[in-house]
Amino acid sequence: MKRLILLVPFLVFLGMAVFLYKGLFMDPSELPSALIGKPFPAFALPALDDPQRTVTEADLKGRPALVNVWATWCPSCRHEHPVLNELAKRGVLIHGVNYKDDRSAAQKWLRELHNPYQLNIEDAKGSLGLDLGVYGAPETFFIDAQGIIRHKFVGTIDERIWREQLAPIYQSLVDEATP
Amino acid sequence: MKAWISIALLTAVLAGSVQAAIDTYEFDSEADRQRYRTLVEELRCPKCQNQNIADSDAPIAMDLREQIFRMLEKGESDQQIVDFLVSRYGDFVLYKPPVTGRTLLLWYGPAIFLGAGFVLLGFIVLRRRGSSATAANGLSADEVQRLKALLNQSSMDNKD
């Protein structure tokens, strides 16, 4: 009994060590999205490339897709852009939400850096961003064919993150949609 | 020395009031202004790790202050405003998280640890008391019996 009591501090230390070690690999700036499993919020916003045209949430349905929230004022978006171009070339369906941005700057960006987006939604006031719970660009939402948000990734997508984390998620959505 | 301390304190207080949000919203009533202040102070900025919406300079905090102001103007209740934000940003925005399965330990952990501490303390005290009692007279059960007998005898002797 006495011997066992002597072990208690060691066990407490072990427990703490496990918790703290796990904490080393957690990113506190990553918030779990409150929207997972919910339909993409309703919106009616102009298309960036053709402001006369209105895009709504109904346009997003039909095929699984990525909805990428970006802006020209966001430096990480510039890093992410070539990766999105590459993904689009490989057949990944990506829609863009241009978040609180200047229209002409955004149009210039797409002309110069190539446009990987199928639909370009212009969210100048950030109202869609607010409904999506966006707190910083870039953020990428994964929606299924029914327009339900299934996953959210905050931060810059690079080749490795895509390969290791995101491609399996996208693939599972595609598999789901093609029985 | 004292003067220095008061200067330091005064600067800290003044700096605090300067840092607070400087948006100028016109409220219909003083009560609305109070509600706005309470809300922006109790809600956490999603972009920042530990700052409320009132103190943060992040663009998202500015947007949320404006959103809260607009909802107040529309006459929505505090609960409606909080629900609106939680449905978009999750429980993270609440400085006071709701009691759910995941937060049980957070809410009741301290009480459980305190209780466990008291139980342990009681256990140790009881054991100490028990052991010190035997250590004081250092007698075995047989010896206690004999002592009793002897004491009884002497008291009987005294009676005579």
- In what helix (H) or strand (E) does residue A55 lie, and over which residues does it extend? strand A54-56
Quote the pLDDT of residue B22. Answer: 55
Q: What pLDDT does residue A67 have?
A: 94
Task: Flag whether A4 is in a domain.
Answer: no
- State whether B89 and B115 are in the same domain: no
Q: Taking residues B82-96, what's their average pLDDT?
A: 88
Claim to verify: residue B28 and residue B44 sit in the same structural domain: yes
Tokens of A168: 């399996």
A39 to chain B, any CB pair closer than 8 A? The answer is: no
C-alpha to C-alpha distance for B30 and A122, rounded to whole angstroms: 37
End-of-domain residue from the set B98, B118, B137: B98
A179–B contact, CB cutoff 8 A: no
Residues B54 and B65: their CA atoms lie apart, in Å, by 7
Out of A90-104, A144-158, B119-133, pick the least confident: B119-133
Give yes or no: residues B10 and B67 share one domain.
yes
Per-residue model confidence as pLDDT tens digits over A108-120:
999 999 999 999 9
Domain count for chain B, please give it.
Answer: 2
Tokens of A25: 């690999």
> Which residues constitute the domain of residue B154?
103-159
Triad B88, A53, A137: Cα angle to 5°: 35
**Would an 8 Å CB–CB cutoff place A35 in contact with chain B?**
yes
Across all residues in chain A, what is the average pLDDT? 90
Nearest to B47 among A130, A132, A135 (CB): A135
CATH classification at residue A156: 3.40.30.10
ipTM score of complex: 0.75
Residue A121 has pLDDT above 90, yes or no: yes
Distance of residue A13 Cα from the nearest chain B Cα, in angstroms: 16
**Pair (B41, B75) in one structural domain:** yes
Q: CA–CA separation, A135 vs A100, rounded Å?
A: 12
| Residue type present at position A45 | L
Same domain, yes or no: B19 and B41: yes
- Name the domain boundary from B57, B72, B98: B98
Q: What is the CATH number of the domain that holds B42?
A: 1.10.8.640
Angle between helices B30-42 and B59-73 in degrees, nearest 10 = 140
Whether B78 and B35 have beta carbons less than 8 Å apart is answered as yes
Of residues B47, B88, B91, nearest to A130 (C-beta): B88
**Is the pLDDT confidence value at A159 over 70?**
yes
C-alpha A51/C-alpha A31 separation (Å) is: 33
Q: How many CA atoms lie within 13 A of B32 on its CB side?
A: 14
A91 interface with B at CB cutoff 8 Å = no
pLDDT band for position B18 (cuts 50, 70, 90): very low
Tell me the pLDDT tens digit for each residue of B35-60.
999 898 889 888 887 888 888 888 88
Residue B9: per-residue pLDDT: 60
Strands A149-154 and A139-143: antiparallel
* Cα–Cα distance, A102 to A84 (Å, whole number): 21
State residue A80's pLDDT score.
Answer: 93
Give domain status of residue A10, yes or no: no
Query: Which amino acid belongs to residue B93?
Result: V
Q: Cα–Cα distance between A112 and B48 in angstroms, integer?
A: 33
In a shared domain, residues B79 and B119: no
Looking at the predicted structure, is the pLDDT value of residue A41 above 80?
Answer: yes
The answer to which of A89-98, B19-28, B95-104, B141-150 has the lowest mean pLDDT is: B19-28
Give yes or no for residue A43 having a pLDDT over 50: yes
B78/B122 same-domain check: no
* Whole-number average pLDDT of chain B: 81
Domain boundary among B98, B116, B148: B98
As a whole number, mean pLDDT of residues A134-155 equals 91
Return d(Cα A3, Cα A15) in angstroms, integer: 19
B21 and B91 part of one domain: yes
Same domain, B82 and B121: no
pLDDT at B1: 58
Asked whether the beta carbons of residue B63 and residue A126 sit closer than 8 angstroms, the reply is yes
Assess whether B40 and B56 both reside in one domain: yes
> Higher confidence at residue A52 or residue B8?
A52
Both tokens of A106, joined, read 């955004």
Reported as a single tens digit per residue, the pLDDT across B121-159 is 999 999 888 766 555 566 778 888 888 888 888 777 665
- Give the C-alpha separation, B65 to A90, whole Å: 41
Residue A115 lies in a domain: yes
Question: Which residue in this structure is represented by tokens 């700096």?
Answer: B15
Tokens of A144: 């299924």
DSSP one-letter string for A81-95: HHHHHHHHHTT--EE
DSSP B44: B
- Look up residue A64 and give its two tokens: 């699984």
**Pairs of residues, one from chain A and one from chain B, whose beta carbons lie less than 8 Å apart:** 34
What pLDDT score was predicted for residue A82? 93
Same domain, yes or no: B54 and B114:
no
Residue B63 belongs to what H/E stretch?
Answer: helix B59-73
Domain span at residue A143 reads 35-177
Same domain, B54 and B23: yes
What is the per-residue pLDDT for A51? 87
Give chain B positions within 8 Å (CB) of A134. Answer: 60
Query: Please, are residues B47 and B60 in contact by the beta-carbon 8 Å criterion?
Result: yes
